[in-house]
Amino acid sequence: MKVRASTTAKAKRESATGTTRSTTRGASARASSTRSRSSAAPSAPARELESVSTPKQARSERTLEQILAAAERLIVERGLRDVSIADVVREAGTSVGGFYGRFRDKDELLRALHERTQRDLRTELLVLVDPERWKTARLEEIVRVCVDVLVRRSSERRRLMAAFLESVAASPDSWQTAIAFRRRLVDGVSALLLTKRAEMKHPDPPRAVRFAIDAALAIVDERAIFHAVPEADRLESRELAQELERLVLAYLGCR
């Protein structure tokens, strides 16, 4: 009986300690937990992509998903120039005819990948910083979460981002849909940050928010372009996230 009582008392103490720790984690832990759950979310369904003809059958959609997933894996691993259409077809387990039935060339495939990547990023950001979830949060916490997501996703897909940027520079007219989607991403995040405009000391919060987001995206893009240059002065992902957070908050007048 004494042993059982002692064990029960110990369990109660451990439970109380765990409860105390849980309640003191605060908004940072809440953001971390949300980030972990959302990062495992699947990519946007192929049928929702504007840059690809809508698959009419489930089998056709599966084939398209396989091609997109295979192309992303190979480009992330090797870079665009070292990936051929034959490589993509082989990795996807589909046929060359199946590829050309959906894309005219690698550029069209790349645009579809870009749209899917941007959709995934926008979805994750909007889930993470849902105004209802962050009513009591400060702007600093929301910016930290947004920056963490941006840096993590760009770090995971540097070669893919570099391929996007290279293609846009070579043929900007063909990327109008992708550019418009990125603009919608900026619009969505801007609206969320402006729910905390009372914390901003910048004289023009709407302009400042858009400028700060564009600056953060530009820095991440530059990092992707020069990821393979040994002499480039690059920060580690964690350091980059910290500096981007400081940059955005300082420009908005929050620090």
Amino acid, res. 205: P
Say how many Å lie between the first and final Cα of the chain, rounded. 59
Query: How open is the CA angle 246-250-254, to the nearest 5 degrees?
Result: 110
**Total Cβ atoms within 10 A of residue 221:** 16
What CA–CA distances, in Å, run from 217 to 17, 133, 161, 222, 241?
Answer: 42, 25, 11, 9, 12
| CATH 1.10.357.10 is right for the domain spanning 27-41+106-252 | yes
Predicted pLDDT of residue 232: 59
Q: How far apart are CA 166 and CA 169, in angstroms?
A: 5
Predicted pLDDT of residue 70: 95
Predicted pLDDT of residue 253: 95
Q: Would you kindly state where each structural domain of the chain is located, as residue ranges?
A: 27-41+106-252
Q: Contact at 8 Å (CB) between 74 and 88? A: yes
The whole-number mean pLDDT for each consecutive block of 10 residues of the chain, a chain of 255 residues, reads: 44 44 42 42 57 60 89 90 94 92 88 84 75 84 92 86 83 78 85 93 97 94 78 80 96 91
pTM over 0.85: no
Q: Contact at 8 Å (CB) between 220 and 151? A: yes
Predicted pLDDT of residue 247: 96
Predicted pLDDT of residue 59: 64
Amino acid, res. 88: V
Predicted pLDDT of residue 138: 92
What angle, 0 to 180 degrees and rounded to 10, lies between the N-to-C axes of helices 85-92 and 58-78? 120
